[in-house]
C-alpha cells in the first residue's frame, strides 16, 4: 500500500502501517491495566483527535476536537451535527488547535461556552499553516445543541491579528509574534510562534474567575525567555474576568489598568502548562508543566509565583541566558512540588484532576490523578503526613490521555486523543485491598494473532530532511499467509519530539 506524505519533520518520524482487518480489537479494548476492583468502559468513541470535554447539568457531554469542532454526547450517542464548528478559524498544525473548553458554572442558565485555540486569520491564506500564529480565548452562546459561531466574543487575544504575527510563513523564527521591534510585547496578544506549547486549558476556579494555561509559544529556546516577563502573556497561567477578559485588581501584577497584559497574569515562568486543577478543599492551583529534555513538573502554585522556566527545568539550571542570572544567584522561584525525570519511557506530564467522587476507595478521594502521555500511564499523587509528595502507579496501557475529570456519577473520566475515545473508570469492589494497585485487565484480549506487518519504505532508521516528501510503502499478511487487502490498511505517522510522541503534526 503506497502513500506519500509531505510534512516538516523537526525531529523523528515513526511510520507504521496498520492492518484494519475486522478481527483485531482497538488498542484500549485490549485493556487498560487497572488496580483490582476497577473497571473501564467506553462512554463515547469516534472522535477526531479529541482534546477536552465538559459535563452539562442535563447529562450531555461536550467534547472538543482539535480541528475546531465541539461534539455533543446525548443519551449515550454522539450527535451527527457539532455544537460548534470554528475549524475555519483554527490553526491545528502539529500541537496547535482547539485545546481547551469549559462551560459557565451556571450553565445553561448562563449559556456560555469558553474555548481556547490557535487562531488562523483570514489574511494568512496562502501562507504556510506551519508559520507563526497567535492564540485566543473566546466565549460563545449556546442554544440547545448549537452554538452560533457569530456569537464569538474574544476575551483574550483580540490583539493577535495578522499584523502582529512575526513570521507567517515560518515557525520558531524571528521576528517573534506579539512583539514590537524593540521586543516590547503587544497588548492582548498571545504568541504561537512554535507549533507546540500553545494555549491549552481553560477552567473556572473556586473564586469564579476564569483561568487559562498558555505555553511559551515557541520550541526554539531563543524565544522562550518571554516566559520570564509578566509583560508578555506567554508561559503563564492567566486569571481573567469571564465576562470581559480583563484582569483583576487583586491579581499579583495589577498595574492600575485591568486591560494590561500584566494585570491578567497569575503565575509565570512555564514552558507548557497544558493542564491544571484546583484542590477541592484548599482551592490551591496544581499545574503540570511539560518539560524539555530532563524533567516533568507538578507544582502547587501561589499567586505571583515564578516557576523558573526557561532558567530551570525541574531542579536543574538550564544556563541558557544571562537573564537567568538573578534566579541563579538567590532570587526566589517556586520549585516543583513533585518532579520526575525522563526515565523508563516517561516524558510528558498531563496534569490531571482531583478525584472528588464517592465511588473510589477512600485512599483515592481528593487525590490528584495525572497521566504521562509518553509512557501511557496514569498515576496518583498524594501526600504523606509530613507533606512529602508520593506518586503511586494507577493505570498502564492508557495510551495518550489528554484530559481527566471526575464525572457527576463519581467515576473518573479520561479522554484519549489517539483512539478518539472518552472512557469511564469505576470501582466495583472485590479482588483487592481497598483498591491498592495490582495489575488486572479490564477487558479480555481478542482471539487470534494480529496480521504480520512489513514497512518497505522508508527504511528503518532513515533520516528524513525537513520539508522532504516521504514515500511510504508496506503490506500485511494474516498468520496463514493471506495478503490483507489495501482497503483494510492505513498509515499512522507519529512524531517523536523531546522524548514524547505527537499524534498530529
Q: Categorise residue 305: left if φ over 0, alpha if ψ from -120 to 50, beta otherwise.
A: beta
The answer on pLDDT for 188 being more than 90 is: yes
Task: Give the residue with greater pLDDT, 434 vs 260.
Answer: 260
Q: Report the SS3 class of residue 29.
A: helix
pLDDT band at 193 (very low <50, low <70, confident <90, very high): very high
pLDDT at 443: 36
8 Cβ neighbours under 8 A, 6+ residues apart:
130, 171, 466, 467
Residue-wise burial string across 169-191, b where 16 or more C-beta atoms lie within 10 A, e elsewhere: eebbbeebbbbeeeeebbebbbb
The answer on pLDDT for 219 being more than 90 is: no
139 Cβ neighbours under 8 A, 6+ residues apart:
112, 113, 114, 152, 153, 155, 242
pLDDT at 473: 81
pLDDT at 497: 53
Q: What is the mean pLDDT of residues 331-352?
A: 94
Read off the pLDDT of residues 463-499 as tens digits, 9 standing for 90 and up: 665 556 777 788 877 777 788 887 777 665 655 555 5
Q: What is the mean pLDDT of residues 386-414?
A: 98
Q: Report the SS3 class of residue 427.
A: strand
Mean pLDDT of the chain: 88
d(CA 103, CA 154): 15
Q: What is the mean pLDDT of residues 221-240?
A: 95
pLDDT at 431: 43
Q: Which of 206, 204, 57, 201 is nearest to 142 (CA)?
A: 57
pLDDT at 20: 41
Does the pTM of the predicted model rise above 0.75? Answer: yes
Assigned C-alpha cell, 325: 542570572
Assigned C-alpha cell, 193: 510562534
Going from the C-alpha of 311 to that of each of 221, 225, 294, 482, the distances in angstroms are: 10, 8, 13, 57
Q: What is the mean pLDDT of residues 261-280?
A: 98
Q: Report the SS3 class of residue 328.
A: helix
pLDDT band at 322 (very low <50, low <70, confident <90, very high): confident
Task: Give the residue with greater pLDDT, 318 vs 217.
Answer: 217
Q: Which of 490, 479, 493 is nearest to 1 (CA)?
A: 490
Q: Report the SS3 class of residue 487.
A: helix
Spatial contact of 219 and 238, defined as CB atoms under 8 Å apart? no
pLDDT at 435: 55
Amino acid at each position: 500500500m503506497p502513500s506519500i506524505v509531505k510534512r516538516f519533520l523537526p525531529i523523528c518520524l515513526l511510520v507504521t502501517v496498520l492492518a484494519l482487518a475486522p478481527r483485531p480489537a482497538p488498542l484500549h479494548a485490549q485493556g487498560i491495566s487497572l488496580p483490582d476492583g476497577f473497571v473501564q468502559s467506553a462512554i463515547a468513541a469516534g472522535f477526531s483527535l479529541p482534546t477536552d470535554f465538559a459535563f452539562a447539568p442535563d447529562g450531555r457531554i461536550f467534547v472538543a476536537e482539535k480541528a475546531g469542532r465541539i461534539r455533543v454526547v446525548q443519551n449515550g450517542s454522539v450527535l451527527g451535527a457539532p455544537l460548534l464548528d470554528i475549524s475555519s478559524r483554527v490553526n491545528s498544525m502539529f500541537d496547535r488547535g482547539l485545546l481547551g473548553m469549559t462551560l459557565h458554572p451556571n450553565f445553561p442558565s448562563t449559556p456560555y461556552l469558553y474555548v481556547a485555540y490557535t487562531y488562523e486569520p483570514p489574511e494568512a491564506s496562502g501562507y504556510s499553516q506551519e508559520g507563526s500564529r497567535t492564540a485566543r480565548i473566546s466565549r460563545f452562546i449556546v442554544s440547545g445543541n448549537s452554538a452560533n459561531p457569530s456569537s464569538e466574543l474574544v476575551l483574550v487575544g483580540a490583539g493577535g491579528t495578522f499584523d502582529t504575527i512575526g513570521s507567517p510563513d515560518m515557525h520558531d523564527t524571528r521576528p517573534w509574534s506579539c512583539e514590537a521591534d524593540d521586543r516590547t510585547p503587544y497588548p492582548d496578544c498571545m504568541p504561537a510562534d512554535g507549533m507546540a506549547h500553545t494555549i491549552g486549558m481553560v477552567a473556572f476556579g473556586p473564586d469564579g474567575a476564569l483561568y487559562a494555561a498558555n505555553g511559551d509559544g515557541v520550541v526554539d529556546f531563543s524565544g522562550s525567555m518571554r516566559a520570564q516577563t509578566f509583560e508578555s502573556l506567554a508561559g503563564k497561567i492567566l486569571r481573567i474576568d469571564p465576562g470581559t477578559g480583563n484582569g483583576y485588581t487583586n491579581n499579583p501584577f495589577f498595574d492600575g489598568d485591568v486591560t494590561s497584559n500584566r494585570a491578567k497574569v497569575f503565575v509565570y515562568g512555564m514552558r507548557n502548562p497544558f493542564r491544571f486543577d484546583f484542590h477541592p478543599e484548599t482551592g490551591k492551583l496544581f499545574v503540570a508543566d511539560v518539560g524539555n529534555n530532563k524533567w516533568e513538573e507538578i507544582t502547587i502554585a501561589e499567586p505571583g509565583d515564578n516557576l523558573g522556566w526557561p532558567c530551570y527545568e525541574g531542579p536543574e539550571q538550564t544556563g541558557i541566558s544571562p537573564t537567568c542570572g538573578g534566579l541563579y544567584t538567590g532570587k526566589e522561584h517556586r520549585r516543583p512540588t513533585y518532579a520526575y525525570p525522563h526515565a523508563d519511557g516517561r516524558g510528558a506530564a498531563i496534569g490531571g484532576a482531583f478525584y472528588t467522587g464517592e465511588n473510589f476507595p477512600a485512599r483515592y478521594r481528593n487525590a490528584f490523578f495525572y497521566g504521562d502521555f509518553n509512557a501511557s500511564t496514569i498515576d496518583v499523587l498524594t501526600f504523606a503526613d509530613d507533606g512529602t509528595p508520593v506518586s503511586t502507579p494507577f493505570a498502564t496501557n492508557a495510551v495518550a490521555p489528554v484530559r481527566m475529570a471526575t464525572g457527576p456519577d463519581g467515576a473518573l473520566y479520561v479522554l484519549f486523543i489517539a483512539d478518539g475515545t472518552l472512557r469511564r473508570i469505576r470501582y466495583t469492589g472485590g479482588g483487592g485491598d481497598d483498591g491498592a494497585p495490582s495489575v488486572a485487565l479490564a477487558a479480555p484480549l481478542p482471539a487470534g494473532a494480529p496480521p504480520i506487518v512489513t514497512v518497505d519504505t522508508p527504511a528503518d532508521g532513515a533520516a528524513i530532511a525537513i520539508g522532504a516528501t516521504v514515500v511510504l510503502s508496506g503490506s500485511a499478511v494474516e498468520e496463514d499467509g493471506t495478503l490483507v487487502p489495501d482497503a483494510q490498511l492505513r498509515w499512522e505517522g507519529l512524531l517523536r519530539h523531546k522524548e514524547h510522541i505527537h499524534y498530529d503534526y
